[in-house]
Structure 1
Amino acid sequence: MDETVKYDWEIIHFNESSPILQDETIASENPLTVMINGMEFATMVCSPSNVKELIIGFLASEGIIHTFREIASIDIDIKQGFAYVEVTRPIDMAQVDHSKRFIGSCCGKSRQFYFKSDVKTAKTVLNQLVVSVAQCYTLMEKLQQASIYFKETGGVHNAALCSVKEIISIQTDIGRHNTLDKIYGDILIREIPLRDKLIVFSGRISSEVLLKISKMGIGILVSKSAPTDLALKLANDLGITVIGFVRGRKMNVYTHPKRIYEAIKTKQDQLSP
C-alpha cells in the first residue's frame, strides 16, 4: 500500500437504544490531480493505494497512452495530491474533450461520460476463453476472502484479474471504476497476457464499467452485483460475457453464454441426435 488506506474513527454505536463508544475503521479518500507534460488533465478521488497503476490504467482507458513504454516518467505526491506524468508522444490538450474534469469516487453523476474517447478505445472482444459455473463461484469466493480492506471498512470496492483457477492481480479502491483502472495499469506494467484471463468484480456493472472491460480486451466479467440495461446492450455489441449476482451458488448469465462451459454443453446436447 502506498499510503494509509484506512483510519480509526471514534463513533457512538447503538445496539437498539444502548450507546457504546468505540473505534470504527474508515476507508481513506484522497484527491489526486494528474498533470500530463506540465498541463492539468484531470482530478480524481481515490484510495491512496497502487496509485501508479491507477494513473497508468486511467490514461490507457482514456486513450492517452497505449503501452506502458509511452510513459517517460511518473512522479506521485499523494500527500500534496498531484501526479506528474511525462509521455513520449505529443498530446494536444485542446483536442482532449475531458481536460480538467473532476472524477468523483462515488458511483453516480459526478463521473462524466465522454463517448468520443470511448469510440476511439472500446473494442469488440474476440476472446474465446471458456469458464465453468463452479469456477465462477470459486473465483468470487476467493475475491471476497482476499478483500481485507472491505472486511475492515465496508467502504471499498475490489476487482481481480484472474485465470480460471486463481487470482493474478487484485486491486482495491473507494471507486469501483478506479479498481479497474488499477487492474489495467498492472496489466500494462507487467505486460500480462490476457487470452486466458477474466475479471471478477465487486460492484454494479454500469456502462462505463463495461467499456473499461472492453478496452482491456477481457471477454468475461463476473460480478456479485447487478448490471444496467445500457451495460448489457454494450456487452451484446462488444462480445462480452456478463455474469452477475454471483452469490453463494447462484448466478445470472446475461450475455454471450458461449463462454460458459455448461451452456455450451447444454446446447451441444440439444443438437445431438
Structure 2
Amino acid sequence: MINHDGHSSSSLLLAPEPGRAGLTRAVEGYDQTGSLIRIPVVEERPLTIFLNGQEIVTAMTIGDYPEYLALGFLRNQGMLSLQETVKAVDYDEDLETVVVRTDSQTNYEEKLKKKTRTSGCAVGTVFGDMMEGIEDLVLPEAEIRTSWLYGLSHQINRIPSLYLEAGAIHGSVLCHRDQPLVYMEDVGRHNAVDKIAGWMLSEQVDGADKIMYTTGRLTSEMVIKCANMGIPVLASRSGFTAWGVDIARQVGLTLIGRMRGQRFVCLAGEDRLIRDIDPSQVPADTGKKRRTSAE
C-alpha cells in the first residue's frame, strides 16, 4: 500500500483533504460590488509519468496521490496489465516525476504515436485505439438498488471536499452498495478516476461489486475507463454523451446520469436496477453550499 501523510475524520478509506497544504492558495480579487475579497484557488502542477525508462505523458494535476495517478493512468491506457508485477513506484517531488518500474521490459513507442485528445476537463489524453480491448469486454452481472443511489448521492454531496472549498475541480468516488469507499478529486475527472484505478491496483481491489460515482459528464472516456476497471455501474449528477451511452450498452455497463434529489435518468443497463424505494420519500436536492470567501 502507498502511504501518505495526513488525517481525515471521514469514514472513507481515502477522503478529500481540502485543508492539505499545497492544494490551493489564497488569491485576492473583487466581487460584483467592487469589494475586495480573498478566496482559495486550486493549484495546478505538471506530473510526468515514466514507465520503466520511457516517458509516457505529462499530466496537469493538483498533486495529491501522484503514485496512484501514475499507476491508474498506465492501467487504464492498457500499458500495465493485471498480470504485470510492479516492482516500484518512485515519486520525485522536486522533479515532478513518477517512475513506475515493472519486472519486464516495456516499449510503447508505436502506441504513443497515436494520441486522442479527449473531452475531459484539463484535456485528457488516450494513446492508441480508444476502443482497444473494449470490443470483447462484457462486465460482470450486478444489481443496483435505487436506495443505494439515493443514499450515495446524499452522502457524497455533503463530504468536505476541495470542490466545496474552492470549486474548479471534479470528484470521483468508488462505492460499495450505499457506502463510499475512496473519494478522489482533480482538475480533470479522468485524473480522479485514474487515481482510484491506481488505488484499486495497488490494493488488489476487484471492481465487480462496485459503483463509480462522478461529478463530471458521462463521456466515452469515462465509460471506457470504468469498463476497463471492471466496474459495472457508473453514476453522475451530470449528463451524457451519445457515444458514452453507445459504449455502455455495448459492454453491459449501467449508466445513470442527471442524479439530483429525487430524479435520475438511466440510459444503459436498466435491467440491473431494483427500484426498492419510492422517489417521493427521498429529500429534495437543496444544492451544495460552496464557500465564496476565506473564513
Global fold match (TM > 0.5): yes
| 8 Å contact from structure 1 (residues 163, 196) kept in 2 | yes
1:51-78 per-residue CA deviation (whole Å, 9 max, x = no partner) reads 1111101111111112386222121123
Find the aligned partners of 1:204 and 1:122 in 2 and give their Cα distance. 23
Structure 1 residue corresponding to 2:256, chosen from 243, 246, 261: 243
Moved more, 238-247 or 1-10: 1-10
Find the aligned partners of 1:228 and 1:13 in 2 and give their Cα distance. 35
Q: TM-score, normalised by structure 2?
A: 0.80
Shift of 1:256: 1.1
| 8 Å contact from structure 1 (residues 158, 170) kept in 2 | yes
1:230-253 per-residue CA deviation (whole Å, 9 max, x = no partner) reads 000001101101000000110001
Say whether 1:10 aligns with 2:28.
Answer: yes
Shift of 1:125: 3.5
Shift of 1:96: 2.6
Moved more, 140-149 or 111-120: 111-120
Shift of 1:107: 2.2
Q: TM-score, normalised by structure 1?
A: 0.86
Consecutive unaligned residues in structure 2, runs of 5 or more: 6-20, 277-295
| 8 Å contact from structure 2 (residues 248, 268) kept in 1 | yes
Find the aligned partners of 1:55 and 1:150 in 2 and give their Cα distance. 22
Percent identity over the alignment is 24
Return closer, same or farther for 1:207/1:22 CA change in 2, 3 Å cut-off: same
Say whether 1:71 aligns with 2:86.
Answer: yes
In structure 2, the partner of 1:25 is 40
Say whether 1:135 aligns with 2:153.
Answer: no
Find the aligned partners of 1:47 and 1:57 in 2 and give their Cα distance. 16
Consecutive unaligned residues in structure 1, runs of 5 or more: 264-273
1:28-107 to structure 2, matched below 5 A, reads 28-67=43-82, 70-97=85-112, 107=121
In structure 2, the partner of 1:181 is 194
Find the aligned partners of 1:69 and 1:251 in 2 and give their Cα distance. 39
Find the aligned partners of 1:66 and 1:250 in 2 and give their Cα distance. 38
Find the aligned partners of 2:224 and 2:158 in 1 and give their Cα distance. 27
| 8 Å contact from structure 1 (residues 132, 262) kept in 2 | yes
Shift of 1:104: 8.9
- Secondary structure, aligned partner of 2:268: coil
Shift of 1:222: 0.8
**Counterpart amino acid of residue 274 in structure 2:** Y
Find the aligned partners of 2:136 and 2:165 in 1 and give their Cα distance. 37
Structure 2 residue corresponding to 1:171, chosen from 144, 168, 184: 184
1:79-113 per-residue CA deviation (whole Å, 9 max, x = no partner) reads 432112222221123333358x79799527x4344
Structure 1 residue corresponding to 2:234, chosen from 205, 221, 237: 221
Shift of 1:171: 0.7
Find the aligned partners of 1:147 and 1:56 in 2 and give their Cα distance. 26
In structure 2, the partner of 1:260 is 273
1:107-158 per-residue CA deviation (whole Å, 9 max, x = no partner) reads 27x4344452641367633322212222111112222212511001111111
Q: Which has the higher helix share?
A: 1
In structure 1, the partner of 2:206 is 193
| 8 Å contact from structure 1 (residues 242, 254) kept in 2 | yes
Find the aligned partners of 1:123 and 1:54 in 2 and give their Cα distance. 26
**Counterpart amino acid of residue 211 in structure 1:** I
- Secondary structure, aligned partner of 2:163: helix
In structure 2, the partner of 1:111 is 124
Shift of 1:217: 0.7
CA RMSD in angstroms, aligned pairs only: 2.4
Find the aligned partners of 1:122 and 1:180 in 2 and give their Cα distance. 21
Tell me the number of residue pairs that the alignment of Structure 1 and Structure 2 aligns: 258
Moved more, 213-222 or 194-203: 194-203
**Counterpart amino acid of residue 182 in structure 2:** S
- Secondary structure, aligned partner of 1:138: helix
| 8 Å contact from structure 2 (residues 112, 128) kept in 1 | no
